[in-house]
Amino acid sequence: MASHGGTNLQAIMDACAQGVLNAEVKLVISNNSGSRALSRARAGNIPALHLSSITHPRFEDLDLETKNMFLLRGVNYVVLAGYMKKVGPALLQAFSGRILNSHPSLLPKYGGRGMYGDKVHEAVIRNGESETGVTIHVVDGEYDSGRIILQDRVPVLQTDTIDDLRQRVQKVERALWINVLRGFCDE
């Protein structure tokens, strides 16, 4: 699941195609009909769906449809690779312990509701942190509170802009996804 550019998705797709991951991306869902993630999936011949409050005004219906689409495709793990919405209880129950999310900080620092993307990087720079990083964790019912699977550190330079820091964090994030997923694929 992805909301915008799909760079993490592309890294995962490439790793699958190159045999780095013994896995298959079976479905991509985005809450944003114009997301690059959907076009990346379609270019890779992966089924891609736009599911959002536009297609399903009731959250409960959206949650059930999301769950059903993953079950229909025989999905084993759900990867939130830049997905900017909270997932619902039906999806959480159906894939308990099998929904993974990446967050652009060393959780529990700079996590929780409202802390995502550039908001995290801005806070890290504003607070004078010397390092930040990426966390991949299991999703539970609360924002950024699930069991941490793996973290990787990224130095914060005194000259960093939000854009500089974002680019370095995203590069580490893509590699971290592959490392984590390789572990799950080998199970």
* Domain layout of the chain by residue ranges: 1-96, 103-182
Q: Under CATH, domain 1-96 is a member of which superfamily?
A: Formyl transferase, N-terminal domain (3.40.50.170)
Partnered with residue 102 across adjacent β-strands are 136
- CATH assignment, 103-182: 3.40.50.170
Greatest distance between any 2 Cα atoms in the chain: 49
Q: Is 56 a catalytic residue?
A: no
To the question of pTM greater than 0.85 for the whole model, the response is yes
Rounded average pLDDT per 10-residue block, the chain, 187 residues: 95 96 97 96 97 97 98 97 93 98 98 95 98 98 94 98 98 97 85
pLDDT score recorded for residue 187: 66
pLDDT score recorded for residue 185: 83
Selecting among 4, 50, 56, 103, the annotated active-site residue is 103
Three-state DSSP class for residue 147: coil
How would you classify residue 46: left for phi > 0, otherwise alpha for psi between -120 and 50, otherwise beta?
A: beta
Asked, colleague to colleague, whether 1-96 and 103-182 share their fold, the answer is yes
